[in-house]
Structure 1
Amino acid sequence: MAESTLESYPPLFRQTSNTNLGVDSDEPTKQVPDSDPLPVIDLQCINQAKLSEACRDWGMFRLVNHGIPTTLLSRLHEHARKLFSFTFESKQALFTRPMAYSWGTPALTPSGEVIEKGLNLNVQNLNWMEGFFAPLGQLSQLQTQDPMLDYFRLLLEEYGIHQFRLATTIFEAMAEDLKLCLKQSKSYLSPTTGMLRAYRYPRCPEALDQACGLDVHTDSSVLSILNQDEGGLQIYKDGDWIDVKPIPNTLVINLGDMMQAISNDKYLSAKHRVKVNKHKERISICYFVFPEEDTVIKSSKYKPFTYADFRAEVQQDLKTVGFKVGLQRFRLTKAC
């Protein structure tokens, strides 16, 4: 498939600049050429010991035998690529509530209002990415006369049903490992919070190794489920950045901040980033799921909080200090 034209890129991405972008590139990257570094979990016969080890030591694992038709995975990626190939101006006009289009940095809110002001951003703060955001519970409200967008909506709805099935199965296995109260744990994973995000990481020929598709971060979710078509994702573990390979018909499961808090820090919210490529674009589609809005997360490590409290704190930090502080804002400190 031919690469996208520059007209489909946001204007600042069309510039050829040697400006340093993204994260510190001096940290070592661990290359694992002949094997898959991630723990592998088989959804059809979950090994509780392997799952527990993956969640505690990595906060990320590869899922096989997930039951999603390969045709659905390929159609979703193909259609997302077509939509991303539209001109930048067309994409801004096409995606309306409840869906949203953004670029340059993750959106502060699902509607992406802050990102629509992207042209005013300092190039130093840009992530080399653009994305479509789709809150699954609101997709039925989408009113569009565009057949491509309407078909994309149908694909997202079908894919979202599979994603929540996976998330529920995985979370129930984790809840069993953590010995969580069954009644309480049901509110920790709400289908109404499901969010699908399709990302494109454009070619970035001039930024060299300094560019970052997504800066170093942890997800705010309970679980994130990633479907990627090219390399670029890296996880930080034991002082190294480790490449997470794109292996066909597998998914990457990432534990987020909510899961770390729910587990009382027994599980890890994985620190990760996305590197760009000078020659290839990368498309990824990620599902995020959160607790119910009014569910209080109680832990001996943190002050009681809801996801709404957490989200408000993250948005405030992004506006004031420029980055997400996250769980540290809620962590209890012991008196000396």
Structure 2
Amino acid sequence: MSNSESYPPAFRGLTNDGDPPATAEIEPVLIQDKDIQIPVIDLERLDKEILREACREWGIFRLENHGVPLPLMSQLQEISESLLNLPFKNKRELFAAVNSPLSYFYGTPALNRSGDVLQRGTRASNMNMVEGFNVPLQSLSKIPSSSTSCDDVDAQQSKLSSFRVLMDEYGRHITRIATSLFDAIAQTLNLELSGDQRSEYLSESTGLIRVYRYPRRSGVAAGEALGMEVHTDSSVISILKEDESGGLEIMKGEEWFCVNPVANTFIVNLGDMMQAISDNEYKSVKHRVKTKKNMKTERHSVCYFVFPERDFVIKSSRYKPFAYSEFEAQVQADVQSLGTKIGLPRFIPHSPLFL
């Protein structure tokens, strides 16, 4: 099978496995961005002052000595790549099984709570060169077994079963990291939280993982194309494991900077909910992913997102009180009507974007 057969049809003319169509529409990015070294946090010897500075000035940091076994990360990447390399039709069928909590998406990272792609308004930017799987961690045990018997289906279900086992173990590790980091960040904000209160701010039951693939791209236009458009995460905390391909960029000040990959580390970025919880003391960092022309390899990454309890009301001097479910509904409404997320500015009193 040609590798292009594993891509969604809309991607195939833009990859290295095919000739680009003359009218291909992708968003050009013409400026060569600079590399930047983001702060480094050592989870084994966590320095609260370094953490506070990273959250206040950057909204993103690199995490080392995180305690996730390297063989587990390697095996998870291998099985994830294997599933993403299945023919497009097979992937859709495998992840569209009745009652399966998993979902497959492509062309946009804008999904609803069930993991289905949101239909975007006419002002949406061009297609994002990304595909992946949405994995709610609390529902992994509900992945159904196949009722069809054939060699191909059995092999694919075997892969999916291995994926579930590895994802379950990885999810326990990454949840541990997120709760440890949140506790430390709460201390830097002088938030004294009981166990029950912490679960309102950061609910483990909301944790989900998205496995992404960004295809190799032919030289279809000058400059570079966006694998994922400019955005902030809606989460409290997001924890990214990426391969060596690179492509992640962050905005600091009014400039874009490349964050180069470092083996055996995670990238942790704060989301909109952490910015609101901190009264804007900490930042939800703007970021994007580029896919460079004629990349030698695809880019693969795995990202964990965790949110507050849906009905928990966040009270802040900067925003009107809102429940996370209200924020989520507004983001989805904006994506569907405007084609893009507005986010926190919708909740700033007296802002032109205020609801």
Q: TM-score, normalised by structure 2?
A: 0.87
**Counterpart for residue 198 of structure 1:** 211
**Counterpart for residue 127 of structure 1:** 128
Select which of 167, 172, 180 maps to 1:169.
Answer: 180
SS for the counterpart of 2:288 is strand
**2:308 aligned with 1:274, yes or no?**
no
Select which of 211, 229, 236 maps to 2:225.
Answer: 211
* Residue pair 2:110, 2:335 contacting (<8 A) in 1 also: no
The structural deviation recorded for 1:207 is 3.7
The structural deviation recorded for 1:90 is 0.5
Letter in 2 for 1:292: E
* Residue pair 1:190, 1:291 contacting (<8 A) in 2 also: yes
Letter in 2 for 1:216: V
> 2:220 and 2:130 mapped to 1: Cα distance?
13
* Residue pair 1:227, 1:286 contacting (<8 A) in 2 also: yes
1:234-291 CA distance string (max 9 Å, x none): 0111222111111111000010000000001000000000001322200000000000
> 1:236 and 1:66 mapped to 2: Cα distance?
25
> 1:65 and 1:82 mapped to 2: Cα distance?
28
**2:240 aligned with 1:226, yes or no?**
yes
* Residue pair 1:211, 1:276 contacting (<8 A) in 2 also: yes
**2:124 aligned with 1:109, yes or no?**
no
* Residue pair 1:110, 1:135 contacting (<8 A) in 2 also: no
Alignment of 1:20-35 (within 5 A): 20-22=25-27, 25-26=29-30, 29-32=33-36
**2:65 aligned with 1:69, yes or no?**
no
Alignment of 1:16-165 (within 5 A): 16-17=20-21, 19-22=24-27, 25-26=29-30, 29-32=33-36, 37-96=37-96, 97-114=100-117, 125-145=126-146, 146-165=157-176
CA 181–83 in structure 1, closer or farther in 2 if over 3 Å, else same = same
* Residue pair 2:276, 2:316 contacting (<8 A) in 1 also: yes
Residues 66-75 or 201-210, more deviating: 201-210
* Residue pair 1:48, 1:173 contacting (<8 A) in 2 also: yes
* Residue pair 1:193, 1:292 contacting (<8 A) in 2 also: yes
Letter in 1 for 2:64: V
Residues 136-145 or 123-132, more deviating: 123-132
The structural deviation recorded for 1:21 is 1.9
**Counterpart for residue 323 of structure 1:** 340
> 1:174 and 1:12 mapped to 2: Cα distance?
42
* Residue pair 1:100, 1:110 contacting (<8 A) in 2 also: no
The structural deviation recorded for 1:334 is 8.2
> 1:4 and 1:259 mapped to 2: Cα distance?
43
The structural deviation recorded for 1:185 is 3.5
Residues 160-169 or 124-133, more deviating: 124-133
* Residue pair 2:247, 2:289 contacting (<8 A) in 1 also: yes
Letter in 1 for 2:305: F
The structural deviation recorded for 1:45 is 1.0
Structure 1 unpaired stretches of 5+: none
Residues 271-280 or 159-168, more deviating: 271-280
> 1:196 and 1:137 mapped to 2: Cα distance?
11
**2:324 aligned with 1:313, yes or no?**
no
**Counterpart for residue 268 of structure 2:** 253
Residues 105-114 or 263-272, more deviating: 105-114
> 1:210 and 1:298 mapped to 2: Cα distance?
41
Which is helix-richer, 1 or 2?
1
* Residue pair 1:27, 1:241 contacting (<8 A) in 2 also: no
1:269-326 CA distance string (max 9 Å, x none): 0000000132220000000000011111000001111111111000000011110000
Q: TM-score, normalised by structure 1?
A: 0.92
CA 167–84 in structure 1, closer or farther in 2 if over 3 Å, else same = same
> 2:285 and 2:47 mapped to 1: Cα distance?
21
1:47-105 CA distance string (max 9 Å, x none): 11110010011100000000000000100111111011100101000013200000000
- Count of residue pairs the alignment pairs up: 326
> 1:95 and 1:76 mapped to 2: Cα distance?
17
* Residue pair 1:27, 1:240 contacting (<8 A) in 2 also: no
> 1:307 and 1:323 mapped to 2: Cα distance?
18
Letter in 2 for 1:148: K
> 2:167 and 2:210 mapped to 1: Cα distance?
10
The structural deviation recorded for 1:26 is 4.5
> 2:33 and 2:124 mapped to 1: Cα distance?
25
**Counterpart for residue 321 of structure 2:** 304
Letter in 1 for 2:111: L
> 2:200 and 2:123 mapped to 1: Cα distance?
40
Letter in 2 for 1:172: D
Residues 231-240 or 206-215, more deviating: 206-215
SS for the counterpart of 2:325 is helix
CA 159–20 in structure 1, closer or farther in 2 if over 3 Å, else same = same
